[in-house]
Structure 1
């Protein structure tokens, strides 16, 4: 195929306004709506899991629906604060040191999943201790619905035309407005499908077929599967420009942060099976 024909075959990026709608001077962005939708839908599914007594050890759910209603605020704060702080420390620390106001410019860099994961984990530990809830069961509930938020977040990344992939000539490659003239992998959609949709289906199957009765099993599956999916997609995703490639030009920060997650996930699976025995 000639260069001209290849250029014409590039998929057109659907230029969607990042602002969903405005209320006076207040602009509501798709990215913010994605967080809200992910958290609210995850909360709704979690409530249905807690109501199903047959899913839990001794047919006794680890917490009540009222607990989940209270926990919603805790986890939202943990995700947002952890996600932003994680992005600053893992990806943009030098820029924030040079210009501290950049720390609150969430539109300038965004959020880190690994930071949001850490923030949500801390919120779960504190909430479980305060309300005497089995910590691993709360981990399992949140892990089983977390892919919903990941799915919406990655779709929002695509809408914003950010976090695009590496240059490619695959038939579905597209040129992003901020990615130069080259066609690239729509890696945000790869992540939405792998880390979001596929993981949600798998975790629901695992949890609803006895997984919740072995405390920590769903959590271990979530952490391990996410790490594997993220490392896989990192081979197609363009690394952040301020960091680039690490260790000789192939390793990325996303891979580095996912390797400890894989180890923790495998340990959680081992611990769950050992505790069950």
Structure 2
């Protein structure tokens, strides 16, 4: 027990404030901060590339719903299909932020399960629809959003940390966290590892854009974002507890299996972007 005093005892309040009976939780607050930062960063990129602001205006709506719908469906389909497809009520819970009670009533619970892999796919589909709507090149849009994505990912993992979820394996490292709402075991703060890694990627993205943004090929930032985040995600899974029971005994868990095809797409984008440039020059090469 004395040894636990060396670690960080983690049991923060999950509620940031309560406004007239409406709870504002840190989880939702950090999500909003992450998306808001991405919004202002991409807006700056549009201005820097002298793209009409009217074209930018609908982008936020596409991104917000693409991420939310993709994250939610990704969690339900890949991690808890046995629950959400077992009855009509459970299927409705997948689509709406409610939970049905045994007496037939329901209560608002928010979207408790969100998966980053699903969010990535949902965002890509939303951006494809957006690019077609405003008649922009899809890869140009992906590149600009990719530069801002790591800061959003950073805050999402900080949200997970505030919720004491996605915890790591037990460890004796001096920076271990004891998630008191979970158990009395010193564990890797895997959420914090990811948050730091994604913040570092954000700094790298800003540096590369400022210094080499007009020299790299189309798809470079998109490819770098996918490759970095999901390669890190693959290996950090070895330090994390499995999220669902069926992952026990699997050689690679669901997070790792879903990361592989995304990394492959990222690598293809990194190394075949010059071919895309020849087909249709990026915005900064157009006259």
Distance in 2 separating the partners of 1:247 and 1:234: 12
**1:178-237 C-alpha deviation (Å, 9 max, x unpaired):** 43221100000001011x201111112222233455211110111111111111211111
The number of equivalent residue pairs is: 262
Q: Pairwise mapping of residues 18-33 of structure 1 onto structure 2 (< 5 A)? A: 18-33=14-29
Aligned to 1:92: 80
Inter-partner Cα distance in structure 1 for 2:189 and 2:225: 23
Indicate conservation of the 8 Å contact 1:91/1:242, yes or no. Answer: no
Q: Note the 1:171-210 alignment, pairs <5 A.
A: 171-194=174-197, 196-210=198-212
Instruction: Quote the offset at 1:108 in angstroms.
Output: 6.8
Structure 1: 5+ residue stretches without partners: 54-60
Residue equivalent to 2:102: none
Please tell me whether the aligned partners of residues 31 and 159 of structure 2 are also in contact (alpha carbons under 8 angstroms): no
CA RMSD of aligned residues (A): 1.9
- CA displacement at 1:9 relative to structure 2: 2.2
TM-score normalised by L of structure 2:
0.85
Q: How has the CA–CA distance of structure 1 residues 245 and 108 changed in structure 2, closer, same or farther, with 3 Å as cutoff?
A: farther
1:29-68 residue pairs with structure 2 within 5 A?
29-53=25-49, 61=50, 63-68=51-56
Listed as ranges, the matches of 1:6-21 within 5 Å are: 6-13=3-10, 15-21=11-17
Question: Contact 1:19 / 1:30 at 8 angstroms: preserved in 2?
Answer: yes
TM-score with structure 1 setting the length? 0.88
- Deviation at residue 246 of structure 1 after TM alignment: 4.8
Q: In 2, are the aligned partners of 1:74 and 1:123 still within 8 Å (CA)?
A: yes
Cα distance change of structure 1 residues 211 and 271 upon mapping to structure 2, 3 Å threshold = farther
Match of 1:57 in 2: none
Gapped runs of 5+ residues in structure 2?
98-108, 279-287
Q: Give me the whole-angstrom Cα distance separating, in 1, the residues matched to 2:40 and 2:4.
A: 45
Contact preservation (8 Å) 2:79, 2:244: no
